[in-house]
Amino acid sequence: MKQAIQATDYQFPGQTGFYRGKVRDVYYFENKIAVVATDRISAFDVILPKPIPCKGQVLNQIAYEFLSVTKDIVPNWMISSPDPNVTIGLKCQPYPIEMVIRGYLAGHAWREYRDGKRTLCGVPLPEGLKENDCLPEPIITPATKAAEGHDEDISREEIIARGLVGTSDYAVIEEYTRKLFAFGSRMALQRGLLLVDTKYEFGKLGDMIYLIDEVHTPDSSRYFYADGYEARQQANEPQKQLSKEFVRQWLISQGFQGKEGQVMPEMDEEMVQTISHRYIELYEKLTGKTFVPHNGGNIIDRIYQNIKLQL
């Protein structure tokens, strides 16, 4: 059994703060942050009880790949990645929203559509669509970033009216969102995948707007296999996908969707390993590289030393 990181609890020289997210532990310094991608996994905005070996490394290394190749398209926060599970970056002021963009009617958007909604975050949807259909054009469906509990859908108009993002800044992050999605879609197709939907987060430092957090990872994105997509749609068959959606579907089958009163199902070791293998598969499919798990020594000690060397 490979080591897995449930959480970190470091104290670094010059550290000014700490934040624990659903998946990442963030260490703040005067003008930069160190983000540790742990092996925690969340679904329906709830952290599952067992960590998934290699998941954090997969997320961090996929994000590193995409942050590296998109920095000429959109400015991003990344400075370096001194450890397989760590990214060092600029300390930006994050906007309190996630920019979700969808090219296909899947996941949350499909569930809303199936239940009768024809407008999502102020964006009208045509009649006659079925699950996993390609949308006429990609749509942006933002969500609020909840410190606890569920994120909520929100429209562009409400974001601006509530002062969450200014009008001119919103225009920039909307443009960045579309550029990133177009690029990510092209890269995915080169690997035989369809980028179904994803989310981006943005922040500001001085007058500059930056892409922050992860990008195009299986935690923030959903992918279908391109081969056989049309045939499966015509036959009304489920799409073969690489994403975290299979975890959500497993939880749904066990009667859990993160709602009040529901009990988190027990995740046995076989399920843990299945999820780990799925994440590794997506890394190799997306990057075209063989995944090499980092098993040298104690992971917690290794991460501490590698971050400290960057301070």
Task: Give CATH superfamily name and number for 17-93+267-308.
Answer: Phosphorylase Kinase; domain 1 (3.30.200.20)
- What is residue 218's predicted lDDT score, i.e. its pLDDT? 83
- What is residue 25's predicted lDDT score, i.e. its pLDDT? 97
Residue 249 · residue 27 · CB < 8 Å: no
- What is residue 141's predicted lDDT score, i.e. its pLDDT? 97
Beta bridge pairs of residue 245: none
- What is residue 294's predicted lDDT score, i.e. its pLDDT? 83
| Arch. (CATH architecture) of 95-245 | 2-Layer Sandwich (3.30)
Quote the CA–CA distance of 193 and 216 in Å, as a whole number.
12
Q: Which amino acid is at 178?
A: R
- What is residue 246's predicted lDDT score, i.e. its pLDDT? 80
**Number of Cα atoms under 13 Å in the Cβ half of residue 60:** 27
pTM above 0.95, yes or no: no
- What is residue 145's predicted lDDT score, i.e. its pLDDT? 80
The ranges of the chain with pLDDT < 70 are 1, 146-150, 296
Quote the CA–CA distance of 32 and 300 in Å, as a whole number.
21
Please provide residue 179's backbone torsions phi and psi, each rounded to the nearest 5 degrees. Answer: -65, -45
Give the residue extent of every domain in the chain.
17-93+267-308, 95-245
62: which residues sit within 8 A by CB, 6+ positions away? 214, 216, 217, 218, 282, 283, 286, 287
Q: What is the pLDDT of residues 151-178, one digit of tens each?
A: 799 999 999 999 999 999 999 999 999 9
